[in-house]
Structures are given as structure tokens and as C-alpha cells.
């Protein structure tokens, strides 16, 4: 889906709209546009000579939104939550962290539930709305079977809406944060939403939990931490598990570079590895 973009030129803000969208509306280059905020979403509409707003039937334009999610917002929670988050499916993890974002932004309903609209979900994760519908439904199905973190997750299909309620366990983990840094996991919202690989997310959480520029871990413990269950020799584990995860983490998160080096052997077998980490 093509996105409307905002650029800063000097002291002015310039809105860039793809040519295909302009063609769809029948508007010409130079048409006066105005930005409106409707239900916390920015919309672009044509401005008439009289100054009034004239709408034109063009869903591809009017449903497009200016991105204003703070992707650099740091999500903080007690590290005891890590193992439970690792068990979430990809779609469920996205819904969970969008809910955390809303929670920390104090966007709760009167009954303490959190609402996610399909258009906002699509905005958060950068997907078509049709994909948003599917991922929201997948998350609702997951949470109907797994209620540790979210006790209520209703997908209202005719409204494209999720109504979510955190469990008391989740509330405890995100409110009772210990001041000792090793008890707290901190990560940018963008990283939580973007990682898709099977081993990328648990390895990333392990790195963020360590709060260190380097750390050593046993191979067997590492496999357990990231959920690698194949009984293969280390070279295959490093190629198919560690390296693929490292590539995605360094491409999509606040971690700039990761080196994984052999740290200890038992006979010919690599028993421990050391991760050396450079942040952006």
C-alpha cells in the first residue's frame, strides 16, 4: 500500500502524495489540501476556493493515514515476563505490544479494556488492512486458548476491532518494576513489532535482558532459551538458528552488530558461545 509522506523543507512541512492517489481523485498537481485529525488519525482532504473542505469518494486516499506512532517509545517490564512473551505467536506478540503501548499511553476504556482498530493495527505494523484483519483474528484465536497474559481478547469482525483485557499477572509484571536493571527488560516498540523469525525474538530478548556488551552462555541453555529443539550438531544450529536470527535482529532493531564466537569446548564439541554486542 502506498503511503502519504511528510517531509520537512526549511521551516515548512510538505505532504507528499503518490501520483496514483492523485489520479484516482481526479485532482491536479497544486491542489490545496488540508490535514485533519479525526479519531486520533490524520486525514488528507481537498480544500475548495471558499475555504470549505470538499471530500471526494476515494477510499485509497481517505483511508491512508499519516504515521504518528512513537516507534522509539521504550517498553519496560519486569523480566519475569520474558518467558511468557516468548511463547506468543507472531500475531499475538504484535497485539500484546500494541496493547502495552496503549496501556503506557493511558488509552484504556472505562472498563479497563484496550481497543485496537484494524486501521490502527495496520498503521502500527505497516501492513494492508486485509492482512491486519487476519493477524488480529489469529491473535484472538491464540489468546482464546492461552490466557496467561490476556484473559479477554474479542475480535469483532463486522467492526474490524479487538477488545483486549490484560491478566492480573501481566499488570503485575508491567507495574511492579524492580529498580535493579537486571530485573527489567527495556526495548523500543519498533523492535517488538518487527521481528518475525522463529528464533529472532527470544534471542533479542536475551540480549536486551543481559544489559551487557558481551555475555557467555552454554549451547544447551541457549537452545532452550530460543526454543531450538532440533538435535543437530553445533554448526547446523549456528547456521540455521543463531545466524538467521542475528541477521534479522541487526537489520530491524536497535542492535547494530552481533558476533557469536565459540567460547568453550568439551572435547570436540562446542559447549559455550560468547555474544559480543554493539548497539546503535
Examine residue 184 and state whether it is found in any structural domain, yes or no: no
Examine residue 68 and state whether it is found in any structural domain, yes or no: no
Check residue 32 and give its pLDDT.
Answer: 66
Boundary residue ending a domain (115, 141, 174):
174
Boundary residue ending a domain (111, 140, 174):
174
Are 57 and 78 within one domain?
Answer: no
Give CA–CA dist 65/42, Å, rounded. 6
The vertex-209 CA angle with 228 and 76, nearest 5°, equals: 120
Examine residue 114 and state whether it is found in any structural domain, yes or no: yes
Examine residue 204 and state whether it is found in any structural domain, yes or no: yes
Are 170 and 78 within one domain?
Answer: yes
Instruction: Tell whether the model's pLDDT for residue 118 goes beyond 50.
Output: yes
| Residue 231 burial class via C-beta count within 10 angstroms: exposed 0-12, middle 13-18, buried 19 and up | exposed
Query: Would the CA dihedral through 209, 210, 213, 216 be positive or negative?
Result: negative
- Per-residue pLDDT of 25-84, as tens digits, reads 666 666 666 666 555 555 666 666 555 444 443 333 333 333 467 888 999 999 889 889
- Per-residue pLDDT of 232-242, as tens digits, reads 889 999 999 99
Examine residue 218 and state whether it is found in any structural domain, yes or no: yes
Examine residue 180 and state whether it is found in any structural domain, yes or no: no
Strand-by-strand arrangement of the 161-166 sheet: 114-117, 161-166, 150-156
Boundary residue ending a domain (62, 82, 97):
62
Check residue 5 and give its pLDDT.
Answer: 58
Q: Which of 68-72, 176-180, 222-226, 265-269 has the lowest mean pLDDT?
A: 176-180
Examine residue 38 and state whether it is found in any structural domain, yes or no: yes
Measured CA to CA in angstroms, residue 121 lies from 2, 49, 113, 115, 162 at distances of: 16, 36, 16, 10, 10
Check residue 16 and give its pLDDT.
Answer: 63
Check residue 44 and give its pLDDT.
Answer: 66
Are 43 and 80 within one domain?
Answer: no
Query: Which has the higher per-residue pLDDT, 167 or 52?
Result: 167
Check residue 158 and give its pLDDT.
Answer: 83
Are 144 and 88 within one domain?
Answer: yes
Average pLDDT over residues 118-133: 88
What 221-226 contacts at long range (C-beta under 8 Å, 24+ apart), as own/partner pairs, is 222/273, 226/199, 226/202
CATH code assigned at 129? 1.10.10.10
The vertex-74 CA angle with 85 and 117, nearest 5°, equals: 70
The number of folded domains in the chain is 3
Check residue 53 and give its pLDDT.
Answer: 46
- Determine phi and psi for 153, rounding to 5 degrees: -145, 90
pLDDT band at 152 (very low <50, low <70, confident <90, very high): very high
- Determine phi and psi for 271, rounding to 5 degrees: -105, -25
Check residue 23 and give its pLDDT.
Answer: 59
Examine residue 69 and state whether it is found in any structural domain, yes or no: no
Domain of 88 in residue numbering reads as: 74-174
Amino acid at each position: 500500500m502506498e503511503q502519504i509522506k511528510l517531509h520537512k523543507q526549511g521551516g515548512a512541512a510538505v505532504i507528499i502524495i503518490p501520483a496514483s492517489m492523485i489520479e484516482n481523485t481526479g485532482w491536479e498537481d497544486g491542489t490545496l489540501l488540508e490535514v485533519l485529525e479525526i479519531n486520533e488519525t490524520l486525514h488528507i482532504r481537498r480544500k475548495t476556493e471558499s475555504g470549505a473542505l470538499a471530500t471526494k469518494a476515494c477510499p485509497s486516499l481517505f483511508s491512508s493515514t499519516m504515521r504518528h506512532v512513537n516507534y522509539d517509545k521504550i517498553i519496560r517490564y519486569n523480566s519475569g515476563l520474558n518467558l511468557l512473551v516468548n511463547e506468543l505467536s507472531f500475531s499475538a506478540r504484535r497485539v500484546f505490544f500494541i496493547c502495552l503501548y496503549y496501556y503506557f499511553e493511558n488509552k484504556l476504556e472505562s472498563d479497563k479494556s484496550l481497543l485496537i482498530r484494524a486501521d490502527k493495527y495496520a498503521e502500527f505494523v505497516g501492513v494492508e488492512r486485509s492482512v491486519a484483519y487476519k493477524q488480529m483474528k489469529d491473535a484472538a484465536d491464540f489468546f482464546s486458548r492461552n490466557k496467561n497474559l490476556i484473559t479477554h481478547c474479542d475480535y469483532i469482525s463486522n467492526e474490524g476491532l479487538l477488545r483486549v483485557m490484560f491478566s492480573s499477572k501481566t499488570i503485575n509484571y508491567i507495574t511492579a518494576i524492580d529498580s535493579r536493571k537486571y530485573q527489567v527488560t527495556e526495548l523500543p516498540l519498533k523492535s517488538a513489532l518487527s521481528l518475525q523469525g522463529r528464533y529472532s525474538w527470544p534471542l533479542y530478548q536475551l540480549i536486551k535482558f543481559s544489559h551487557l556488551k558481551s555475555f557467555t552462555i552454554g549451547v544447551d541453555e541457549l537452545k532452550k532459551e530460543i526454543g531450538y529443539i532440533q538435535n543437530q550438531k553445533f554448526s547446523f544450529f549456528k547456521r540455521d538458528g543463531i545466524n538467521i536470527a542475528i541477521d534479522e535482529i541487526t537489520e530491524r532493531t536497535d542492535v547494530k552488530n552481533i558476533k557469536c564466537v565459540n567460547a568453550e569446548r568439551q572435547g570436540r564439541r562446542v559447549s559455550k558461545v560468547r555474544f559480543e554486542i554493539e548497539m546503535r
